[in-house]
Structures are given as structure tokens and as C-alpha cells.
């Protein structure tokens, strides 16, 4: 059970789970600025710039890792790895949407969308409708900042301001969602912030709303030993203090490290979906972005997330 979470907590872009959206946007901005980017998100830096990004600003500093390595080489490698993971994850799910629309899907739902700018930056076919679901203040912030910069969606966009622990299917339907149309669903950067029972309920609701031919892409919730997490927190704190980065929320404390969590690929296969899964580690190595010493070769190691995709039968 997360020590910073409650059953009915809320947040904006500067508090609790909302701050992780800033972290992800900062990573996407940094990746976009690389000489060899895996993805292009021209709006990420705009969205980060409107926040008090605090500690996440280090992701935008190209010299930071080299400076940090002078203090702790392994911790610096982990910083690099974190950014590369976000880039690989983004690329994987961008390609998922490209495949879905190539198959004729024209209805998209992004769950816990945060500062995801896919409704604005992807080249959606004519007739595509995107629904973004998240906390009201998070959606308000994103819409306001992008509008201020003259950025318009590249698809028909409906924001659905509702907590996923509440009646989000009702809110989605009222926003114009067509239950009879195939849908491409995305659950990215979400499951780790839900307890196991809420995860099962979420996928049950998605399944009920999904017409045959619907598709879903999911990032599973990784698990990490408490001792290792505390060790890395102490090492990151040393770097943070050295560079005067200010206080930050311990993201690990926002997550539910639930040992009873269902295997997503198995759950989907048992509930009317044809599912496949790849490890994020394999994707990172395939794209040449594995930054940690050695590799995730221990059998049964579940500290690395999986990317699951499935098609509704």
C-alpha cells in the first residue's frame, strides 16, 4: 500500500501523481532535442515550461548526466536509463496507434492522459476521435497551455475530466463515445498507481466497452524490492543536494507495489482478447537504449515492465 495515497485522493499538475506527468513530459522533451531521437514531441517542452518543474528540469540539461557521474556513476547511468525508457515506451505506443488506425480504428481513448500530446502531435486520419481521461485540473492545464501557444488537436478531441476510480464509463459515454465502434485504448504510466483490485475493475470496464476489433496497449506495473528502492533514493538525494535541485516527491511512494496484481496479458487472454507481451528491457536493448551495467537476465525478474497489446475477439 502506498503511504502517500488514499482511496479518493485528487491532484493537479504540481502535486502527487500529477507531478509524474511533468517528469514524463520532460523526458519526452529531452528525447526530442537529441541528435538521434526515437520520437518527436514538439509540445512537451511547452507543457513542462508552464509548470514549476523543479527536480525534473535536470532531464532538460544535456550536461547533467556527465556532472552527476562524477558523484555516482551508477546513479547517473540510471538517470540516463530513465530517460531512454520513456523514449522507448513512447515510441512503442506511438506505433501501436499507427497500427490501429491502419486497421481502420477511428476511436481512441487515452486513460490517465496526463501531459500526453498524442491528440495534437500524431498524424491522425480524417474522422478520428480521441478521448482523454484524467483528473480535471490536469486536463485543464494541458488544454490551456497548448491553446495559449496556438496548438490545435490533429483529431477531434474530447477531454473527459473524471477519476478512473469513479464512473468514468458513464462520463466517457456522455462525452460521445460510441460503444459499437472499435476502439484503440492506451493505459500508459497508469497501472502502478492503481491497487490490484482497481486494475482488474478497470480492464473489466474496458472489456465491456470494447466492440470486436478493438485494440488495447498497456504498460504493466513493475515491482522493485523495497531495499533497492530505498538505496537508490538515498543516492539520488545525494546528487539532488549536490546540485541544489530542491525537494522532490518519491515517485515510488505514489505507487502500489501489489504482489497480487494480475498478469495483464493473461487476464486479457482469459476475457476475450488475443494478447501478446514484450518486455520493456528487450525493447530498450533492441533499440540500443539499454543504459544500465549488465542486463536484466535473471529468470523471473519482474522489476521491468511489459508492454502488452491485444485485440478484442
Burial of 178-209, coded b for 16+ CB within 10 Å and e otherwise, reads eeeebbbbbbbbbbbbbbeebbbebbeebbeb
Residue 203: per-residue pLDDT = 98
Residue 16: per-residue pLDDT = 67
Residue 232: per-residue pLDDT = 62
d(CA 52, CA 309): 35
pLDDT of the chain along its 313 residues, tens only? Answer: 445 567 777 777 767 676 888 889 999 999 999 999 999 999 999 999 866 655 566 677 777 777 777 878 877 787 788 889 999 999 999 999 999 999 999 999 999 999 999 999 999 999 999 999 999 999 999 999 999 999 999 999 999 999 998 999 999 999 999 999 999 999 999 999 999 999 999 999 999 999 999 999 999 998 765 666 666 666 666 666 766 665 555 666 677 888 889 999 999 999 999 999 999 999 999 999 998 776 545 434 456 899 999 999 9
Quote the cell numbers at residue 198. 482497481
Helix (H, G, I), strand (E, B) or coil at 257: coil
Please name the residue that has the C-alpha cell 459515454.
Answer: 173
Helix (H, G, I), strand (E, B) or coil at 277: strand
Strand duo 273-279 + 156-161: pairing: unpaired
Task: Kindly list the distances between the CA atom of residue 132 and the CA atoms of 21, 72, 227, 238, in Å, as whole numbers in the listed order.
Answer: 14, 39, 36, 38
Domain 98-312 sits in CATH at 3.40.50.150
Beta carbons of 32 and 38 less than 8 angstroms apart: no
Quote the cell numbers at residue 201. 475493475
Long-range CB contacts (< 8 A, 24+ apart) of 152-157? 152/120, 153/119, 153/120, 154/119, 154/120, 154/121, 154/122, 154/123, 154/124, 155/108, 155/119, 155/122, 155/124, 155/128, 155/129, 155/130, 156/128, 156/129, 156/130, 157/119, 157/129, 157/130, 157/131, 157/132
Q: Is the pTM of this model over 0.85?
A: yes
Quote the cell numbers at residue 217. 496497449
Hey, what's the torsion of the CAs at 74, 80, 84, 87, to 10 degrees?
Answer: 150
Q: Where are the domains of the chain?
A: 98-312
Amino acid at each position: 500500500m502506498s503511504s502517500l495515497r488514499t482511496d479518493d485522493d485528487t491532484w493537479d499538475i504540481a502535486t502527487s501523481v500529477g507531478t509524474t506527468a511533468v517528469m514524463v513530459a520532460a523526458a519526452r522533451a529531452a528525447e526530442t532535442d537529441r541528435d538521434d531521437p526515437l520520437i518527436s514531441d514538439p509540445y512537451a517542452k511547452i507543457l513542462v515550461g508552464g509548470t514549476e518543474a523543479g527536480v525534473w528540469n535536470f532531464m532538460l540539461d544535456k550536461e547533467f548526466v556527465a556532472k552527476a557521474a562524477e558523484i555516482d556513476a551508477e546513479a547517473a547511468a540510471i538517470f540516463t536509463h530513465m530517460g531512454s525508457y520513456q523514449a522507448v515506451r513512447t515510441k512503442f505506443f506511438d506505433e501501436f496507434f499507427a497500427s490501429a488506425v491502419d486497421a481502420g480504428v477511428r476511436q481512441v481513448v487515452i486513460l490517465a492522459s496526463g501531459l500526453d500530446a498524442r491528440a495534437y502531435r500524431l498524424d491522425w486520419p480524417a474522422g478520428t476521435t480521441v478521448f482523454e481521461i484524467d483528473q480535471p485540473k490536469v486536463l485543464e492545464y494541458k488544454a490551456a497551455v497548448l491553446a495559449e501557444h496556438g496548438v490545435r488537436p490533429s483529431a477531434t478531441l474530447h477531454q473527459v475530466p473524471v477519476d478512473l476510480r469513479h464512473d468514468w464509463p458513464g462520463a466517457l459515454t456522455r462525452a460521445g463515445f460510441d460503444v459499437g465502434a472499435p476502439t484503440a485504448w492506451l493505459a500508459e504510466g497508469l497501472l502502478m498507481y492503481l491497487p490490484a483490485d482497481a486494475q482488474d475493475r478497470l480492464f473489466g470496464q474496458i472489456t465491456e466497452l470494447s466492440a470486436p476489433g478493438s485494440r488495447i496497449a498497456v504498460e504493466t506495473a513493475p515491482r522493485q524490492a523495497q531495499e533497492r528502492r530505498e538505496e537508490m533514493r538515498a543516492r539520488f538525494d545525494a546528487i539532488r543536494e549536490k546540485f541544489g535541485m530542491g525537494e522532490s516527491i518519491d515517485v515510488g511512494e505514489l505507487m502500489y507495489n501489489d504482489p497480487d496484481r494480475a498478469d495483464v496479458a493473461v487476464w486479457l487472454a482469459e476475457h476475450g482478447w488475443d494478447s501478446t507481451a514484450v518486455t520493456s528491457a528487450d525493447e530498450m536493448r533492441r533499440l540500443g537504449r539499454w543504459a544500465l551495467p549488465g542486463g536484466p537476465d535473471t529468470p523471473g525478474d519482474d522489476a521491468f515492465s511489459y508492454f502488452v497489446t491485444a485485440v478484442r475477439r
